[in-house]
Amino acid sequence: MLHALSLGLVLYCLWLLLSGYFEVLLLSLGGLSVIAIVWIAHRMDVIDHEGHPIHLTARAFLYWPWLTAEIVKSNIDVAKVIIQRKMPISPSVIEVKATQGTELGQVIFANSITLTPGTVTIAIDRDIMVVHALTREAAEGLQTGVMDGRVTAMEAHKGPYARSRTGPEGGAG
């Protein structure tokens, strides 16, 4: 129920931001639309810890500024590479181990890699991310494990949805 209420609040706030209308009739119609969407999502059973991860909200506010700074730094690095006459690129495909405990954490990690210019996650195989990096420096930056550690710290979810890191599916963690 908490996820449904949170989803409704987020959708209504988004509707207000995008519409910019504050007339009673439009506010009411927007509210009814949000209620209908939340009801449909509830009936489809898609409102859960992964579809609307409210348990990550507080830690995400610490992660997003760091990720934004990394995106800016990577943009500058890629721009420097492009501006140089010889374009010192060294494209490579590397494998990066993901230490997240849930599939949601792995998706956040893969998307964070892709959002950072110069790197793209091209495949995920259990806890291994296959990443294309434009430069050697970008590949080395990923292999340090800083981003992986930040995502794992943000996720920090030890509840019933965490995957086991040992056994046939998770491998030795």
The pLDDT value given to residue 158:
52
pLDDT in tens, the chain (173 residues): 788 888 899 899 999 999 988 899 999 999 999 999 999 999 998 887 666 677 788 888 899 999 999 999 999 999 999 998 888 899 999 999 999 988 888 999 999 999 999 999 999 998 899 999 999 999 999 999 999 999 999 987 554 444 444 434 443 33
Write the single-letter amino acid at 45. Answer: D
User: Model-level pTM?
Assistant: 0.72
The pLDDT value given to residue 87:
84
**Strand 92-97 versus strand 128-133 pairing type:** antiparallel
Dihedral sign for Cα atoms in the order 164, 159, 99, 91: positive
pLDDT tens, residue by residue, 65-95? 999 999 999 999 999 999 988 888 999 999 9
Q: Give yes or no for a contact between 36 and 134, defined as CB atoms under 8 angstroms apart.
A: no
Query: Alpha-carbon distance 49 to 101, whole Å?
Result: 14
Query: Alpha-carbon distance 135 to 119, whole Å?
Result: 9
According to DSSP, residue 164 is labeled P
Query: Alpha-carbon distance 108 to 100, whole Å?
Result: 9
Within 8 A by CB and 6+ apart from 115, the residues are 67, 71
Burial of 164 (0-12, 13-18, 19+ CB in 10 A): exposed
